[in-house]
Amino acid sequence: MKQFFTKLRQTAIAGFFFLFPLYVVFILISKAWTSLTSVGSKLASMFGVKTVLGVGGATLFSSLLIIAIWLLCGLLVRVSFVGAFSRTLERTISSLIPGYTSYRAIAEEKIAHKTKILPYASALFMQGDCQQPAFVVDKDNDGNFVLFLPDVPDTSHGQVLVARADKVRLVPSLTANELDACLKKMGKGLLSEYAINREAA
């Protein structure tokens, strides 16, 4: 029974830290929206706008204010000292909020509708009778490989090791992005879609 409650507590703590960054972002957005709604209401009353295409005047002006602030901040980031301050602030937030960098990268990809091309080769690292998916980061003239073994499903974290050539099987038909996508799905598709075990055999 004690072991059950220990596992339950660990699971609850893991869930808390998983949701914490999202909770912080939600709180910040909620507070910002509340502040801007007050200003938006005043602007709507000033211009006598009650509704536009069924959207309330306060909501419309608040949304326009948010977009204007985004544009202003985007322009300010182009200024060197503001950009440096922004990067320093991001490093501070990353150290305080676990997973912030990963969430930011995912959000950027979704918003920009573009995927970063991973400059690696896909491979399988041999461990006894098992094979672990890996990214080939570097190699020397003797055929030794520098591998990155990603965590699942957060593939931006993992471990780096140096392996002999006989411990590594390259999978040229599987791009690094395809491997990354499968690992984010707990490995689903590696065998059924790409048959990497058959290819590497």
pLDDT per residue of the chain (201 residues) written in tens, 0 to 9: 667 667 666 666 666 656 666 667 677 777 766 776 776 676 667 666 666 555 565 667 677 777 777 777 666 666 655 556 666 777 777 777 666 666 666 666 665 566 678 889 999 999 888 899 999 999 998 889 999 999 988 888 899 999 999 999 999 889 999 999 899 888 888 888 877 766 554
Max CA pair span of the chain: 76
36/86 same-domain check: yes
Radius of gyration of the chain (CA): 24
The domain total for the chain is 2
Tokens of residue 160, six digits: 């780096």
**Domain's final residue, options 78, 112, 146:** 112
Residue 26 β-bridge partners: none
136 close to 145: Cβ distance less than 8 angstroms: yes
7/78 same-domain check: yes
72/12 same-domain check: yes
**Domain's final residue, options 112, 147, 162:** 112
Q: Say if strands 55-56 and 51-52 run parallel, antiparallel, or are unpaired.
A: antiparallel
73/135 same-domain check: no
96/137 same-domain check: no
Kindly tell me the sign of the dihedral angle through the C-alpha atoms of 118, 179, 154, 159. negative
151/68 same-domain check: no
**Domain's final residue, options 112, 140, 163:** 112
Q: Give the pLDDT of residue 149.
A: 94
Query: What residues make up the domain containing 145?
Result: 121-200
